Amino acid sequence: MDWHEDNVRNDVRKFLEANWDPNADLLEWRNKLIDAGWGMPSWPRRWYGLDMPQALQQIVAEEFAHVGAVTVARTGIRLLAAETLLAHGNDSQRERYLRKILTGEETWCQLFSEPGSGSDLAGSTTRAELQGDEWVINGQKVWTTSAHHADFGLLLARHDWDLPKHQGLSYFILNFHQEGVVVHPLKQMNGHASFNQVFFNDAKIPRNDQVGNDGDGWQIAMTTLMHERRNAGNIFTEGRARGAFTGSIYAQADAENKILLEPYTWYPQRAGRVDLAVPRAIETGAIDDPVARQEIAKLLIMSRCAEWTALRARAAQQQGQPQGPEGSLGKLAGSNIAKQAAKVHTLIAGVDAMTAGVDGPEQGIIAEILLSVPAISIAGGTDEIQRNIISERVLGMQKEPRMDTGPFKDVRKN
């Protein structure tokens, strides 16, 4: 195919003119998208794509937005699962899982964090023991978003305790619809219950649902995390521009998103709500305070610089460059922006910032910001983890001394 920009634009327009119907059934439409390759055009043709260069995907997105066309399912963890399986899965796994990820028929979660290891992902102690043709899983994961309605989970577990910590890990696809998996919600201090703890008691995984080989877990988990960090700003959006468009397919898509996006309703507050800073300062008169103005200016500068960094990362992705440490730069920048935003909102609201609920500033949104912002420095890898990645992979600095070498069974644990 000729990948000239004008040809791509014409091809996608012709497809949409011939096939897009805002009153179509959502599942039928997505299957049609997948079969035509326009759902994920940069993917290989064999796996529902068109082998299109990443740089041209924006053209496809623009044409979909122009007519308000719904895309394939992209909300939440699903695309992390899809990209991971595309990179590391075998053909059987891709055949079984990729289509139903894109149609939205199956939902996923990420089973990485554990109570005893915090951000030390390689310190996983969930056990995976091979018994015949099945892996038997025992252990616990925590801070698992959407586990309460997941069909499958991306699981990192330890298959060998005699190997060093990074080498004894394997990566699996876990089916949630079995007795050996128990999910408990976790109530947060901001009033939400977005996360869950998940217990495994002799949960079973068919051998063919191991991704990669024994010991590949760490490498595959890094692929998942790099996609997560690079796409942190848009992973929870479905990717269509509805505008003034009407049709029954939107109701189906909205009903799907209402369930999938419910755990993320507080995420804008977690990021600090930079958009509220200037209007709030004007409304309250804090804009006349030189100290508040200085802190607001600092916040806006930080936010704009982060936008430019994100654009560079997106441009690199569109050019087909491999996942790199720029995701950590963006993640750390987002954390610093959120902290500065919380400082600004506190300066503006004063003691009123402690009032939650409808009686508080912005109907309680400011209090929710202050309660939620600390989470962004932890989720997806702590600020300290991101600094280590940046120092070692970007600046070329020497790695920090390790005290956890040798067989994992001999490493001190919490």
**So which residues are the catalytic ones?**
228
In SS3 terms, 189-225 reads as CCCCCCEEEEEEEEEEEEHHHEECCCCCHHHHHHHHH
For residue 225, what are its two tokens?
A: 């995390």
What span, in angstroms and rounded, lies between the C-alpha atoms of 106 and 324?
29
Strand boundaries in 46-180, DSSP class E: 108-111, 127-131, 134-141, 152-158, 169-175
- How many helices (H) does the chain have, and how many strands (E)? 13, 8
Burial class (CB in 10 A: 0-12, 13-18, 19+), 319: exposed
DSSP 130-156: EETTEEEEEEEE-S-TTGGG-SEEEEE
How many angstroms separate the CA atoms of 21 and 247, rounded?
8
282 CB-near residues (< 8 Å, 6+ apart)? none
Coil/strand/helix, residue 372: helix
Q: Which residues contact 202 (CB under 8 A, 6 or more apart)?
A: 136, 137, 138, 180
Distance CA 143, CA 69 (A): 34
- The DSSP annotation for 266-285 comes to THHHHTT-GGGHHHHHHHHT
User: What is d(CA 48, CA 36) in angstroms, rounded to the nearest whole number?
Assistant: 7
For residues 411 and 414, what is the distance between their CA atoms, to the nearest angstrom?
Answer: 10
Cβ atoms of residues 339 and 373 within 8 Å: yes
Q: Give CB contacts under 8 A, 24+ apart, made by 287-292.
A: 289/347, 291/347, 292/344, 292/347, 292/348
Q: 319: which 2 tokens?
A: 């050019």
Torsion of CA 97, 74, 199, 223, to 10 degrees: 80
List % helix, strand, coil for the chain (3-state, nearest 5). 55, 10, 35
